């Protein structure tokens, strides 16, 4: 295992060339505020006693609003390619849309997710000819999640109120267009994201019917506006 860390370390030195004076040039720092919207779908494993429905069901559906801050570090590799990493932290509010065929009313509420992302970022585009770039980020999310709901039939609580805290993690993909002004004072990024989250605490006694949820898939659009600094 040690040899893999050594290989990664030397690759990092080669890519970013930190020992040369040129390493201080063509480095981009981007700071942005972002808003995103989309839908979050729960993929639920069916009840084994139900022989008439598919093995995996895609419900319930949540409407999602995300507010976050983003940071991108990018190093110019050649005239058309930049590589680096991204960090973000934000808050996601998910409101259930009351699917008519879901057997439990425990989802008739919302959940709040405080999430952090770390991504491997790639930017494509010729800076000499254009200020428009293609940005692609692949990474992982880590989230603290609080579910709130009301159990109409009192199946899972005495007073009907449901509260559940857990942790999510999973892969994240973003592809979008980046427009950097010539003065580097303003940056606009718009694109689409796809995110899969797995519940790390679903087998706890407090998880109720959420043990049947295989994963949560979030898909939507995102807009970032910020400032880019080039060194």
Report which of 132, 127, 167, 131 is spatially closest to residue 147, judged by C-alpha positions: 167
Structure tokens at 205: 């006694």
Instruction: Look at residue 194 in the predicted model and tell me its pLDDT.
Output: 97
Output the pTM of the full model.
0.79
pLDDT: is 158 or 175 the higher one?
175
Tell me 138's DSSP state.
E
The pLDDT tens digits for 56-105 are 565 668 899 999 999 999 999 988 899 999 999 999 999 887 654 444 44
How would you label 140-151 residue by residue, b for 16+ Cβ within 10 Å and e otherwise? ebbbebebebeb
CB 158 within 8 A of CB 193: no
Tell me 195's DSSP state.
E
pLDDT band at 167 (very low <50, low <70, confident <90, very high): very high
Judge whether residue 140 has pLDDT over 80. Answer: yes
Instruction: Look at residue 152 in the predicted model and tell me its pLDDT.
Output: 63
The pLDDT tens digits for 186-214 are 999 999 999 999 999 887 765 555 777 88
Judge whether residue 21 has pLDDT over 50. Answer: no
> What is the end-to-end Cα distance of the chain in Å, rounded?
35
Query: How many angstroms separate the Cα of 59 from the Cα of each of 62, 146, 162, 203, 216?
Result: 9, 19, 19, 19, 9
How many residues would you count in the chain?
231
The whole-angstrom separation of Cα 136 and Cα 175 is 5
Instruction: Look at residue 23 in the predicted model and tell me its pLDDT.
Output: 46
């Amino acid at each position: 295992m040690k040899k893999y860390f050594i290989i990664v370390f030397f690759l990092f030195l080669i890519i970013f060339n930190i020992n040369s004076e040129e390493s201080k040039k063509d480095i981009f720092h981007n700071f942005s505020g972002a808003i995103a919207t989309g839908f979050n779908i729960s993929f639920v494993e069916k009840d084994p006693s139900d022989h008439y429905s598919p093995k995996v069901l895609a419900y319930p559906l949540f409407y999602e609003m995300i507010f976050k801050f983003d940071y991108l570090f990018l190093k110019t590799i050649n005239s058309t390619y930049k590589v680096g990493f991204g960090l973000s932290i934000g808050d996601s509010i998910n409101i259930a849309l009351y699917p008519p065929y879901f057997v439990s009313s425990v989802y008739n509420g919302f959940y709040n997710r405080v999430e952090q992302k770390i991504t491997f970022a790639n930017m494509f585009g010729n800076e000499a000819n254009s200020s428009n770039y293609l940005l692609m980020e692949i990474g992982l999310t880590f989230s603290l999640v609080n579910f709130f709901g009301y159990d109409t039939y009192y199946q899972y609580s005495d007073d009907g109120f449901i509260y559940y805290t857990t942790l999510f993690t999973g892969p994240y993909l973003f592809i979008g267009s980046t427009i950097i002004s010539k003065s580097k004072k303003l940056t606009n990024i718009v694109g689409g994201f796809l995110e899969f989250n797995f519940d790390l605490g679903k087998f706890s006694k407090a998880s109720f019917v959420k043990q049947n949820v295989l994963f949560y898939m979030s898909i939507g659009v995102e807009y970032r506006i910020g400032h880019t600094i080039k060194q």
